[in-house]
């Protein structure tokens, strides 16, 4: 017994000093905590809870979701960055995780260096939406109308620094139009004002807006992804609609604290890769407008770096100030 305790202590010290990864043959050894840095009920939270169900079945441990909202998702992310790198505390976040350095002046952590990327979970197309009072039936007509009325149209977003916000900024840049950004605290109030005509344009996810489009309260002109969505195949891409360089995908991913052992990461990816192929999981994800994407950890790490640079370029070109 003493020999076993001594061996465990030695391995722990080696890991702390040299970064030598601990073996994860018995992982997990306790319940898993997943931090979602947004309130319950949103698309990120729903995706996290589906993932938790996969982990519970595959890993045989209880998975607890903790919603730690505030400061654009940075409060919850900071908590995970400081957690022990043993795979028992994880972060599920949207693409806002790598956008945050572009809009936050005093970051308490490094979104790349202080985390171990595990996998991209899903991709979420955004729709370009307008109030039906705007006399435009397609993207080209919207651009022409905006150019004829500079500064008179406004676009809503679910929050400052969100993917929908930056989608609007990229649209302004590529189309050469003058439209005013109006940030909201969540998609729901933004959509309410869009339907009432207080704002005229918005990029938003299918899960939030599809019902309003079907009812005729809003008009969808295009989708942000490089390919059409199987959920709304009749909706053209922005490239097809006349803005060839416009490609934006909102997405959710899974991170662990830095120095989490690779075999722990691999075990998590393997569980998700099997679980997210379930027709039931796929159906529930598509109900919130999300397509499952389980990528290898190395691929996700490279993807995060590219995405951080991509969003920073948009912020710089749009002169988005850090707060």
Q: For 234-256, write each residue's pLDDT tens digit.
A: 999 999 999 989 999 899 999 99
What does pLDDT average to over the chain?
89
Asked if pLDDT for residue 201 goes beyond 70, the answer is yes
Measuring CA to CA, which residue among 127, 147, 129, 131 is closest to residue 198?
Answer: 131
Q: Tell me, what's the pLDDT at 25?
A: 66
Residue 210 has pLDDT above 90, yes or no: no
Q: What pLDDT is recorded for position 19? A: 41
Least reliable range by pLDDT among 18-32, 85-99, 121-135, 138-152: 18-32
- 25 vs 41: which has the higher pLDDT: 41
Question: Residues 240, 90: contact at Cβ < 8 Å?
Answer: no
Choose the most confident range, by mean pLDDT, from 24-28, 127-131, 280-284.
127-131
Query: Alpha helices, DSSP H only, in 61-186?
Result: 74-81, 96-99, 139-148, 163-175
Contact 129, 224 (CB under 8 A): no
Q: List pLDDT tens digits, range 273-321.
A: 999 888 988 888 888 788 899 999 999 999 999 999 999 999 999 999 8
Task: Cis check for the bond before 28: say yes or no (omega within 30 of 0).
Answer: yes
User: How many Cβ atoms from other residues are within 10 Å of residue 90's Cβ?
Assistant: 25
**What number of other Cβ atoms are within 10 A of residue 188's Cβ?**
11
Give all domains of the chain, ordered by start, each with its CATH number.
2-124+249-317 (3.40.190.150), 126-223 (3.40.190.10)
Count CA within 13 A, CB hemisphere, residue 231: 25
Query: How many helices (H) and strands (E) are present in the chain, helices listed first?
Result: 11, 11
* Biggest distance spanned by C-alpha atoms of the chain: 80
Give Cβ neighbours of residue 82 (< 8 Å, ≥ 6 apart). Answer: 109, 257
Whole-angstrom distance, CA of residue 186 vs CA of residue 292: 23
CA 39/CA 44 separation, integer angstroms: 9
In this structure, what is the dihedral angle of CA atoms 49, 53, 58, 60, given to the nearest 10 degrees?
100
- At residue 290, the pLDDT reads 86
């Amino acid at each position: 017994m003493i020999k076993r305790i001594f061996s465990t202590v030695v391995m722990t010290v080696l890991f702390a000093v040299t970064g030598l990864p601990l073996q994860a043959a018995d992982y997990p050894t306790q319940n898993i905590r997943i931090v979602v840095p947004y309130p319950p009920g949103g698309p990120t939270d729903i995706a996290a809870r589906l993932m938790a169900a996969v982990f519970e079945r595959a890993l045989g441990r209880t998975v607890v979701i903790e919603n730690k909202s505030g400061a654009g998702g940075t409060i919850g992310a900071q908590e995970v960055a400081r957690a022990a790198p043993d795979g028992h505390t994880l972060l599920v976040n949207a693409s806002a995780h790598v956008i945050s350095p572009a809009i936050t002046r005093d970051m308490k952590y490094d979104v790349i260096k202080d985390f171990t990327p595990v996998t991209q979970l899903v991709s979420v197309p955004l729709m370009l939406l307008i109030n039906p009072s705007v006399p435009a039936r397609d993207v080209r007509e919207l651009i022409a109308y905006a150019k004829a009325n500079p500064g008179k149209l406004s676009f809503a977003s679910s929050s400052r620094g969100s993917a929908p916000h930056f989608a609007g900024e990229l649209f302004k840049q590529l189309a050469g139009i003058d439209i005013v950004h109006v940030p909201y605290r969540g998609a729901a109030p933004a959509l309410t004002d869009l339907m009432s005509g207080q704002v005229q344009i918005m990029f938003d996810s299918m899960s939030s807006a599809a019902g309003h489009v079907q009812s005729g309260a809003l008009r969808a002109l295009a989708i942000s992804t490089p390919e059409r969505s199987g959920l709304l195949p009749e909706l053209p891409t922005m490239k097809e609609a006349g803005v060839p360089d416009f490609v934006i995908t909102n997405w959710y991913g899974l991170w662990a604290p830095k120095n989490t052992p690779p075999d722990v990461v691999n075990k998590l990816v393997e569980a998700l890769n099997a679980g997210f192929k379930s027709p039931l999981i796929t159906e529930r994800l598509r109900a919130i407008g999300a397509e499952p994407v389980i990528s290898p950890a190395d691929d996700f790490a490279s993807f995060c770096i590219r995405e951080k640079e991509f969003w920073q370029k948009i912020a710089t070109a749009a002169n988005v100030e850090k707060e």
